[in-house]
């Protein structure tokens, strides 16, 4: 092929390419609707909580002890920090982390349902630090992860895991 023919062919391809418009990008998919939420009356009740924690646990050696966890269907008087909507009253005992008032064995906490048959139980550890149990409810069992959130430091990390078995239902 001669140079003039080659230049003409390249020029013609450039003209054709410039006339061809690229299609606009596809619209973004809408966010999926949130999954089903746990009914507060379904989750409410008293549980035997068993947590396996990485540190500060009074049960670091041997099997973790069962401690009480109660989820109420009564809304909290004050909204819980970070709760996306209504939070509900709860009490919890987590050795090495909860600080119950004198004469009590449990500390006040809050809980709320989240999408996918899951719940969050949250309590204050010290000052602005929070501990959350984030778990999935299946029948009478609740299981998931325990997380630490350092309020002023802005740190977060997983402390361990937990399981809880419902022993009574609160009405």
The 10s digit of each residue's pLDDT in 36-92 is 677 888 899 999 999 998 765 444 445 567 899 999 999 999 889 889 889 999 999
Closest of 100, 110, 114 to residue 130, by C-alpha = 110
- The mean of the pLDDT values for the chain is 80
- CA-wise closest residue to 92 among 32, 47, 158, 52: 47
Tell me the three state secondary structure of residue 69: strand
pLDDT value of residue 153 = 80
Q: What is the pLDDT of residues 146-171, one digit of tens each?
A: 999 987 788 899 999 999 999 987 65
What the chain holds in terms of domains, given with CATH numbers, is 40-169 (2.40.128.620)
pTM recorded for the entire structure? 0.72
For residue 118, what are the β-bridge partners?
A: 114, 136
């Amino acid at each position: 092929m001669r140079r003039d023919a080659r230049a003409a062919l390249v020029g013609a391809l450039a003209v054709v390419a410039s006339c061809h418009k690229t299609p606009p990008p596809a619209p973004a998919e809408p966010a999926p609707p949130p999954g089903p939420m746990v009914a507060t009356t379904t989750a409410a009740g008293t549980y035997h909580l068993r947590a396996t924690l990485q540190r500060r646990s009074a049960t670091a050696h041997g099997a973790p002890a069962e401690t009480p966890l109660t989820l109420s269907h009564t809304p909290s008087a004050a909204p819980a920090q970070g709760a996306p909507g209504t939070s509900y009253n709860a009490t919890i005992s987590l050795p090495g982390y909860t600080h119950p008032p004198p004469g009590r064995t449990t500390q006040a906490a809050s809980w709320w349902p989240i999408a996918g048959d899951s719940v969050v139980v949250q309590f204050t550890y010290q000052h602005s630090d929070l501990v959350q149990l984030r778990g999935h409810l299946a029948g009478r069992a609740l299981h998931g992860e325990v997380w630490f959130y350092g309020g002023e430091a802005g740190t977060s990390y997983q402390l361990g895991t937990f399981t809880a078995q419902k022993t009574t239902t609160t009405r």
